[in-house]
Amino acid sequence: MKVVRQVLIIAMLLASATGMAQQSGMVKGSTAEGATVSLLKAKDSSLVKLDVATKSGQFRFEALAFGDYLLRISAVGYRPYTSEPFSLTAEHSEQAFPSIALTRTEAELGGVTVTAKKPMIEQRADRTMVNVDAGISNAGATAMEVLEKSPGVAVDRDGNISLKGRQGVMVMIDGKPSYLSGPDLASLLNSMSANQLDQIEIMTNPPAKYDAAGNSGIINIKTKKNKQRGWNGNLSLGYGQGRYWKTNNSLNLNYRNEKFNAFVNYSQNSNKGFNELLIKRTYLDDSRKFPVEYFDQPTHLVSQGSNNTLKVGMDYYAGKNTTIGVVGTGFISPRKFDATSTGYKRDIDSTLEYSVKTVSDNSNKWKNGTLNLNLRHQFSKEKELSADLDYVHYNMVNNQLFNNYTYDGNDALTSSEQLRGDLPATISIYAAKSDYTHIFSSGLKLESGLKTSFVETDNRADYFNLNSGLWEADYEKTNHFRYRENINAAYATATRAIGKWNLQGGLRFENTYYRGKQLGNPAKPDSSFSKSYNNLFPTVYITYNADSSNVFTINAGRRIDRPAYQQLNPFLFYINQKTYQEGNPYLQPQFTYTFEASHTYKGWLTTSVSYADTKQSFNQLFRPAPGNITILKEGNLARAKTVNLTITTQLNPTSWWSANISATGTYQEVRVPERESDFNSEAFSVSGNINNQFKLKKGWAAELSGNYNGLNRESQFIIHPFGQVTAGVSKQILKSKGSLKFSVRDIFFTQGITGDIKYGEVREHFVQNRDSRVANITFTYRFGKNFSDNRRRNNTTSEEQRRVGGN
């Protein structure tokens, strides 16, 4: 409660500050929604601050040093606007601009030449933003591949995403959680084309307005939306070739007039790929010093599938200040997996004792439907209310067929068996939320909101063994699991600028109730569990604008990471004859306290130090079982501490060359009370990425980028260094209405992951490679006709989808 008391103290300071005189300047105004607003020094036009006009076109710069400034506004399809020089002084501390109307370029969209290009990386006070289209090599890539080379983001061999060395990231799409986690989230991101994406927002300590889930922060993936009035569209066609082929295609259409905005977005991608995994297990004696036997298991998997996504929506402008919207999204994603895995058991002299060959023929099909109703009303420029209703439904069918063959040391067949699995699952999510914002004349900004959500999941795992030509139920593996969850939340945030200081304090309350039921079968009894708990999540942000060159920021907060729904299912899941996964109904949520201090110099160099302390930290644990079987299970490891040092810089060595460089050093310590050496760990690791953009003549541009992850250890795992290098080139064609992009990702095929796992008397080494070296060519064409408008669609947020999968 110490942190809560600190937040309350700061909140009282903010409230009392309403009567204090401002010791610094402010610039505010309105223009076209979504426009980029730059505040510049009058003497040399150097950048001071950057903002994007809000939903109603508002922009605001606070805590400004007194001096002479210029205001510059730009938007694609419009002529840039630059104000006359103005001064902020003690006598004139506020500069208010009336509504600034931008002038459309003489040609319509069909003939527009884009006059402004967003940088690859934008650094904001509370987030890092990645502009996807600014990276040439992102054409033809997947959403997961874009994330892999984003600052501070890493992806492990199972597709789990971590941020600055810590897992438990909450991934949102258009301000709404993906409602998936673990392998299911990885599957979704691998099926999404980068052509669908506009921006990626990375927030390590989000404000209280956001759900408290995600112990390492939030990654918000924003898909493309056209914000301009008129009718217009964008067509993208792409083909990629690695060891196997891939295609990425999309079509976006939009029509907008004074009363309505309607849009249709369709994307289709198909691909074939491979995944090669080699596992080498060494079994030690009781002293854990000397090997007694070995087990090697190479696996080769070939997958092929497609994804079709459709998004339709409409906004109705009921009045000047009221917008009502409806958005429907759905996808169908069938996929087929063919794998061959052979395990070789050898004695201490490396003599083959037996081998087990598993040939699997698996397929799954995902269907998803999402409906959102939203309302936004502005009572005035200072007061705004928004509300959202969401319904999300997933239907997943997974069919498995395993053929297992056992051979003796002379390669003679000794036994065979067939196992069939039918694993259907449905997930339904209902959510409602509202947010209210009030900006007082003193500059104090108050935000508050309420949210409730209900989740229902129904998962079956029906397994059958083939016996004398008949399929008989295998009740040792068969299970049926139902789960229900309700989360209720309320938050309040206060923001106030006092002189060179900008203060923000927030507090979020969340009440959680869940109930799980394992339905029995003839061999297993019913079992159930339930839990209810309440939590407070404070956040504090303090920014000090020392001068026009130096900005210091401190923030702190508390977050939660709840287990994925399937991780609570207590029964075993069959992976192959020697590997199972087991749920844990006693798995507890983990809580993380975070603290970060940063310094930004002239907007181009940011240095930050962060500290995170996670209680009840959970992670994937490996344990041995009789018969050389390995069981994977999630468990709470008690405590993990992480310290990060991150340096990010944006350079412009020449007028045609820009570079974004980010490097992170991480120290992590994991401790458990029982002092089990398998789980205790401490390690230092480094990671970084670099992106070079080259603007050449006659519409040509090029990119050279790469990312690197150094040696890392966490609990039972040691992951060896890996990284990749990517290069690309683009050319504007068809009078700049179209573009061609060609890129090669992972040129040197160095993104394979190798590592070691230690559990009990077992030492495991693995090597994993996938179809990561891919050459892509993409054609994009823009068409339509625009006219000016000052409105924008509303986006919403919720939390639960992140946790759907996990198994």
Share of the chain above pLDDT 70, in %: 88
pLDDT band at 228 (very low <50, low <70, confident <90, very high): low
pLDDT in tens, 91-100: 788 888 878 8
Phi-psi region of 168 (alpha: psi -120 to 50; beta: other; left: phi over 0): left
Examine the pLDDT at 112 and tell me if it is beyond 60. no
- Confidence (pLDDT) at 125: 58
Examine the pLDDT at 429 and tell me if it is beyond 90. yes
More confident residue, 28 or 127: 28
Among 12-21, 22-31, 109-118, the range scoring the smallest mean pLDDT is 12-21
- Confidence (pLDDT) at 115: 40
**Torsion from C-alpha of 672, 646, 504, 604, nearest 10 degrees:** -170
User: Which phi and psi (to 5°) does residue 743 adopt?
Assistant: -150, 155
More confident residue, 515 or 567: 515
CA distance 530 to 506: 30
Share of the chain above pLDDT 90, in %: 45
- The domain made up of 2-103 has a fold known as Immunoglobulin-like (2.60.40)
Residues of the chain with CATH 2.60.40.10: 2-103
CB 98 within 8 A of CB 29: yes
pLDDT band at 376 (very low <50, low <70, confident <90, very high): very high
pLDDT in tens, 292-301: 999 999 999 9
- One-letter amino acid for residue 236 of the chain: S
pLDDT in tens, 603-647: 789 999 999 999 988 877 888 888 778 888 888 877 899 999 999
pLDDT band at 346 (very low <50, low <70, confident <90, very high): very high
CA distance 553 to 601: 12
pLDDT in tens, 448-500: 999 999 999 998 989 999 998 999 999 988 989 999 999 999 999 999 988 88
Phi-psi region of 476 (alpha: psi -120 to 50; beta: other; left: phi over 0): alpha
Q: Stretch 347-358: mean pLDDT, rounded?
A: 93
CB 496 within 8 A of CB 443: yes
- Confidence (pLDDT) at 116: 44
What is the residue whose two structure tokens read 């203060």?
A: 503
More confident residue, 462 or 1: 462
Examine the pLDDT at 748 and tell me if it is beyond 70. yes
Among 157-166, 197-206, 305-314, the range scoring the smallest mean pLDDT is 157-166
- One-letter amino acid for residue 91 of the chain: E
- Confidence (pLDDT) at 274: 96
Which burial class, exposed, middle or buried, applies to 623 when counting CB atoms under 10 A from its CB (0-12, 13-18, 19+)?
Answer: middle
pLDDT band at 4 (very low <50, low <70, confident <90, very high): very low
Examine the pLDDT at 16 and tell me if it is beyond 50. no
CA distance 268 to 717: 37
Residues of the chain with CATH 2.40.170.20: 229-803
- Confidence (pLDDT) at 365: 93
State CA 792 to chain mean position distance: 24
Strand-pair partners of 670: 640, 681
Q: Helix or strand or coil: residue 183? A: helix
Q: Stretch 88-116: mean pLDDT, rounded?
A: 65
Q: Which CATH class is domain 229-803?
A: mainly beta
Strand-pair partners of 488: 452, 511
CA distance 299 to 769: 11
Number of other CB atoms surrounding residue 362 within 10 Å: 18
User: Which phi and psi (to 5°) does residue 172 adopt?
Assistant: -115, 155
- Confidence (pLDDT) at 49: 80
- Confidence (pLDDT) at 182: 66
More confident residue, 794 or 137: 137
Q: Stretch 139-160: mean pLDDT, rounded?
A: 74
Number of other CB atoms surrounding residue 15 within 10 Å: 14
- Confidence (pLDDT) at 55: 63
Examine the pLDDT at 400 and tell me if it is beyond 80. yes
What is the residue whose two structure tokens read 């996929």?
A: 335
Q: Helix or strand or coil: residue 186? A: helix
Q: Stretch 20-31: mean pLDDT, rounded?
A: 68
More confident residue, 801 or 316: 316
Q: How far from each other are the two terminal CA atoms of the chain, in whole angstroms?
A: 35
* Cβ within 8 Å of residue 342, ≥6 positions away: 297, 298, 355, 356, 357, 358
Q: Helix or strand or coil: residue 286? A: coil
Joined tokens for residue 708: 């690197």
What helix, strand, coil percent values describe the chain, rounded to 5? Answer: 5, 65, 30
Q: Stretch 408-430: mean pLDDT, rounded?
A: 93
* Cβ within 8 Å of residue 533, ≥6 positions away: 511, 512
CA distance 593 to 471: 52
- Confidence (pLDDT) at 167: 74
- Confidence (pLDDT) at 782: 87
CB 34 within 8 A of CB 514: no
- Confidence (pLDDT) at 793: 36
Q: Cα–Cα distances in Å, from 756 out to 243, 282, 675?
A: 27, 11, 20
Of the candidates 793, 175, 200, the residue with the CA atom closest to the CA atom of residue 433: 175
Examine the pLDDT at 15 and tell me if it is beyond 80. no
State CA 86 to chain mean position distance: 41
- Confidence (pLDDT) at 384: 93
Say if strands 67-74 and 86-88 run parallel, antiparallel, or are unpaired: antiparallel
Q: What is the DSSP letter of 524?
A: B
pLDDT band at 803 (very low <50, low <70, confident <90, very high): low
CB 33 within 8 A of CB 58: no
CA distance 635 to 581: 12
* Cβ within 8 Å of residue 793, ≥6 positions away: 225, 227, 261, 313, 315, 323, 325
Q: Stretch 540-567: mean pLDDT, rounded?
A: 88
Examine the pLDDT at 565 and tell me if it is beyond 80. no
pLDDT in tens, 168-213: 788 887 777 766 666 667 767 776 777 777 888 888 888 888 888 8
Across the chain, mean pLDDT equals 84
Q: Stretch 28-35: mean pLDDT, rounded?
A: 81
pLDDT band at 18 (very low <50, low <70, confident <90, very high): very low
pLDDT in tens, 676-719: 667 788 899 999 989 898 989 988 999 999 999 999 988 888 99
pLDDT band at 104 (very low <50, low <70, confident <90, very high): low
What is the residue whose two structure tokens read 């390669």?
A: 411
Q: Helix or strand or coil: residue 168? A: coil
CA distance 157 to 636: 21
pLDDT band at 557 (very low <50, low <70, confident <90, very high): very high
More confident residue, 104 or 185: 185
User: Which phi and psi (to 5°) does residue 308 adopt?
Assistant: -120, 120
Q: Helix or strand or coil: residue 216? A: coil
Which burial class, exposed, middle or buried, applies to 532 when counting CB atoms under 10 A from its CB (0-12, 13-18, 19+)?
Answer: exposed
- Confidence (pLDDT) at 492: 97
CA dihedral for 139, 140, 143, 144, sign (positive or negative): negative
Q: Stretch 125-149: mean pLDDT, rounded?
A: 75
- Confidence (pLDDT) at 503: 92
Element (H, E) at 763: strand 762-770
- Confidence (pLDDT) at 110: 39
Number of other CB atoms surrounding residue 254 within 10 Å: 23
User: Which phi and psi (to 5°) does residue 269 adopt?
Assistant: -140, 140
More confident residue, 775 or 5: 775
Element (H, E) at 291: strand 291-319
CB 244 within 8 A of CB 163: no
State CA 404 to chain mean position distance: 38
Q: Cα–Cα distances in Å, from 801 out to 129, 368, 392, 441, 515?
A: 22, 12, 8, 39, 17
Of the candidates 525, 518, 620, the residue with the CA atom closest to the CA atom of residue 579: 620
- Confidence (pLDDT) at 568: 81
CB 594 within 8 A of CB 559: yes
CB 169 within 8 A of CB 161: yes
pLDDT band at 106 (very low <50, low <70, confident <90, very high): very low
- Confidence (pLDDT) at 598: 92
- Confidence (pLDDT) at 3: 44
Q: Stretch 665-680: mean pLDDT, rounded?
A: 80
* Cβ within 8 Å of residue 485, ≥6 positions away: 453, 454, 455, 512, 513, 514, 515, 565, 800
Joined tokens for residue 118: 């967003």
